[in-house]
């Protein structure tokens, strides 16, 4: 026998559901969504401050490549096959 795990106290209340599936309007005084680019100049300057090649990251990559405990090419290939074989959940199945 399969028992229900849904709680009846979580059911939608009819008075909160809008008619004909329409989204409720905005409350008075709410502003529409906006984007602010005031930090863009700061972020661009910080990005330009970063070196194109980071020697400490290259050194870490070399250590990992030499580490026999780092995943082998076969293990990485297997993981890649699993990822490629999985369904793309961002695509709708209409």
Q: What is the pLDDT of residues 5-27, one digit of tens each?
A: 555 555 555 555 555 555 556 66
DSSP 64-91: HHH-TTSPPHHHHHHHHHHHHHS--TTS
Across residues 23-46, what is the average pLDDT? 78
**Alpha-carbon gap, residue 65 to 67, rounded angstroms:** 6
Indicate if the alpha-carbon torsion angle 53, 56, 60, 65 is positive or negative.
positive
- Residue 83 tokens read as 């990822």
More confident residue, 72 or 77: 77
Which residue in the block uniquely carries the two structure tokens 């409720």? 24
**Measured in whole angstroms, how far is the alpha carbon of residue 91 from the centre of its chain?**
15
What average pLDDT does the chain have? 78
Please check the confidence at residue 78 and state whether its pLDDT lies above 70: yes
Please check the confidence at residue 53 and state whether its pLDDT lies above 80: yes
Across residues 33-54, what is the average pLDDT? 88
Cβ atoms of 58 and 64 closer than 8 Å: no
């Amino acid at each position: 026998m399969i028992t229900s795990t849904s709680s009846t106290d979580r059911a939608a209340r009819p008075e909160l559901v809008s008619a004909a599936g329409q989204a409720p309007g905005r409350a008075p005084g709410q502003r529409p969504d906006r984007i602010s680019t005031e930090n863009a100049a700061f972020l661009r300057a910080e990005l330009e401050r970063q070196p194109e090649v980071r020697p400490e990251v290259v050194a870490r990559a070399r250590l990992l490549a030499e580490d026999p405990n780092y995943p082998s090419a076969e293990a990485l290939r297997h993981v890649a096959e699993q990822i490629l074989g999985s369904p793309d959940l961002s695509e709708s199945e209409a």
